[in-house]
Structure 1
């Protein structure tokens, strides 16, 4: 039974929804459902919600679905790949703060085993939907899209899409910095100014200043003090 609210205009709009108007006449079409989603709570380390399409596609009960079951239904040959991709994603999300989390969409494919024993391939897409007041990731929306006629996993299967710039980026370099920009960023972190970097690299100070501006633009940072505080330089 749908909940009735006091506002008459909203109630009128609710009654006009196709799902409401046709709820008694619409035929069931489970074969047309090709994806499901769930919400992962990163703080509590649990699946907070699973939509009904999960049960329609996999045959498992969406009300009892949890992380242990997710791992159990992954094809044994794809489990190591699953963990490697999750580890890559974690290395990047651990560097991000506040709205930066909403900038990226992470995706890769693997196989799962349905309740009836059938093996299907899904593409997993994950994006942030909530961060803590400290700026750390707290909830993600995870979508599983069925991939038909899937045969061989391509080399670039693991992808990170930058929604702000509308481009796919290198999973080992979430800000898509060039080698020169990496080099300059490392020297800035070491405490060198533009003139000192210019002398060390034997390129003009003007070029160094241009690279500095590009680095700040790519990382959406207002200053290098902010950027250095934000980033882990372990990979540099």
Structure 2
């Protein structure tokens, strides 16, 4: 096997099949010790509408480090997982095909928009079921942020954040999002078409409305959303009122549930 392939001799996992299909961006053999990402900055770029954890993936060998302690209790681990395969093994078998395709869709969308030039300002997200400490499968929301690249632009490290959203919804939209962070306004919504479990959302939101919904999901006040979006508080309130009416929702909690089910979060 080519030593540059993103694989581990004893810990193979199916995502390497996807990543190795894009050697110009993902294959690397770096063994250098990378600095710990700024978790404070990363948490500021995500929303966690429930209990969550994070971990760092080193792409040279798919090893994990810098775990959040919640990963132990949420999945019943006795010790921190050291390889991505241990996380992949938690995914519901029926969702694994979607996870692989979601990764492929994100990579190909980045190629389409020349997103590798600003990859560290893009976040990918989608949902899948994972086995929990209780022994059952529950719906998790996955977010990935790219933290380090080498001098040739190849990805070295990513931070993944998993949030249990079973208390919000059991319905997976099988939608993949590639969105901007750090002030970028990218928003690309992609639907997995190789399934018959979903239908198109009954409501179409504008780009600005999606930004407001994201702020609502993060629990932002009108004042904080105003600062974040650089619009007035009154405009935020107007958008919120119109969004709730458009979605036929009584409150923010009901809106977040529908936004997940319609693939906007």
1:149 aligned to 150, 164, 168, which one? Answer: 168
Tell me, what secondary structure is at the counterpart of 1:73?
coil
TM-score by length of 1: 0.52
- Structure 2 distance, partners of 1:118, 1:170, is 29
The answer for unaligned runs of 5 or more in structure 2 is 1-48, 192-265
Alignment of 1:155-194 (within 5 A): 157-163=175-181, 164-171=183-190
Question: For the residues of structure 2 that align with 1:42 and 1:115, how far apart are their CA atoms?
Answer: 27
Shift of 1:49: 3.1
The match for 1:46 is 63
Asked whether the 8 Å contact 1:131–1:139 carries over to 2, the reply is yes
Bigger Rg, which one: 1
Q: Alignment RMSD, CA only? A: 2.5
Superposed CA offset, 1:24-66 (max 9, x none): xxxxxxxx97000010112222223322110021111342342
| Matched ranges for 1:1-236 at <5 A | 34-93=51-110, 96-97=115-116, 100-147=118-165, 148-154=167-173, 157-163=175-181, 164-171=183-190
Q: Please, which runs of 5 or more residues in structure 1 have no aligned partner?
A: 1-31, 173-236
Matched residues in 1 for 2:85 and 2:115: separation?
Answer: 27
Question: How many Å separate the matches in 1 of 2:65 and 2:109?
Answer: 23
Q: How many residues align?
A: 139
Contact 1:105 1:161 in 2 (8 A): yes
> For residues 121 and 68 of structure 1, what CA distance do their matches in structure 2 show?
19
Q: Is the 8 A contact 2:56 2:66 kept in 1?
A: yes
Tell me which of the two structures has the higher relative contact order, counting C-alpha pairs closer than 8 angstroms and 6 or more residues apart.
2
Q: What's the CA shift string for 1:181-225, capped at 9, x where partnerless?
A: xxxxxxxxxxxxxxxxxxxxxxxxxxxxxxxxxxxxxxxxxxxxx
Structure 2: distance between partners of 1:97 and 1:167:
13
